[in-house]
Amino acid sequence: MSWIRRGALLLAIGATIGATIACNEREVERVDVRAIAIEGHHECASCGMIIREQPSPRGQLVHRDGTRAFFCSLADLAAYHDMPSPHGRVLGAWVEALPVELDPAAHDVAEQAWIDVNAAHFVVGGAPRRVMGIPALTYESADDASRVAARSGGRALRWQEAMRALGGAH
């Protein structure tokens, strides 16, 4: 094959790859990455339990292709978050923020306000075992998380630290 033909072939391959990347970027722009209410009988993407029957805090995430996954516990969310998926990378993840006055031992299945995991403050350990894995609670403010951690014997952490503590790969 001549150098001219090789050059033309490489240009064609490059153009195809570029078009594919541009198409995928447009696809990402169309994905709704906001948290949504958990309606119906969604199953936990990790363990299969019915989400609405489990106490908060629960989690959810959305993949690059728009597929949503829901979780009955933060430990299940952490375990799932970094696993390879045919749905593409994770674009956003949310957890329910608990009111500071809510008793961590209560089996409260009411849906709480959803917040981005990067804005959340976590308390890992110290609380009674919730549903699956290491007990973890979520709060909107660092002060709330610190108060709950102090009275429960848990640790107040941010998302990356909480993921490691809960067994995620972060």
pLDDT at residue 151 is higher than 50: yes
Mean pLDDT computed over every residue of the chain:
82
Structure tokens at 57: 């805090």
Domain count, the chain: 2
Answer for the pair 89, 64: CB distance below 8 angstroms, yes or no.
yes
**Same domain membership, residue 63 and residue 108:** yes
pLDDT at residue 45 is higher than 90: yes
**Same domain membership, residue 56 and residue 26:** no
> Which strands form 68-71's sheet, in the order they lie side by side?
68-71, 59-63, 90-97, 113-116
Model pLDDT, residue 145: 96
**Same domain membership, residue 11 and residue 80:** no
**Same domain membership, residue 102 and residue 60:** yes
Range of the domain at 66: 34-166
pLDDT at residue 36 is higher than 90: no
- Return the number of other C-beta atoms located less than 10 Å from residue 116's C-beta: 14
Q: What is each CA distance from 128 to 4, 19, 20, 135, 152, in whole angstroms?
A: 70, 52, 49, 7, 9
Q: What is each CA distance from 37 to 4, 59, 60, 94, 98, in whole angstroms?
A: 57, 11, 10, 11, 15
**Same domain membership, residue 105 and residue 135:** yes
- Return the number of other C-beta atoms located less than 10 Å from residue 103's C-beta: 10
**Same domain membership, residue 26 and residue 86:** no
- Written in H, E and C, the secondary structure of 59-72 is EEEEECCCCEEEEC
**Same domain membership, residue 12 and residue 85:** no
Model pLDDT, residue 5: 54
Distance in angstroms (rounded) separating the CA atoms of residues 52 and 136: 18
Answer for the pair 56, 63: CB distance below 8 angstroms, yes or no.
no
- Return the number of other C-beta atoms located less than 10 Å from residue 57's C-beta: 29
The pLDDT tens digits of the residues spanning 11-29 come to: 444 444 444 444 444 444 5
**Same domain membership, residue 144 and residue 71:** yes
The pLDDT tens digits of the residues spanning 75-108 come to: 899 989 888 999 999 999 999 999 999 887 888 8
**Same domain membership, residue 16 and residue 95:** no
**Same domain membership, residue 81 and residue 5:** no
**Same domain membership, residue 124 and residue 43:** yes
**Same domain membership, residue 77 and residue 105:** yes
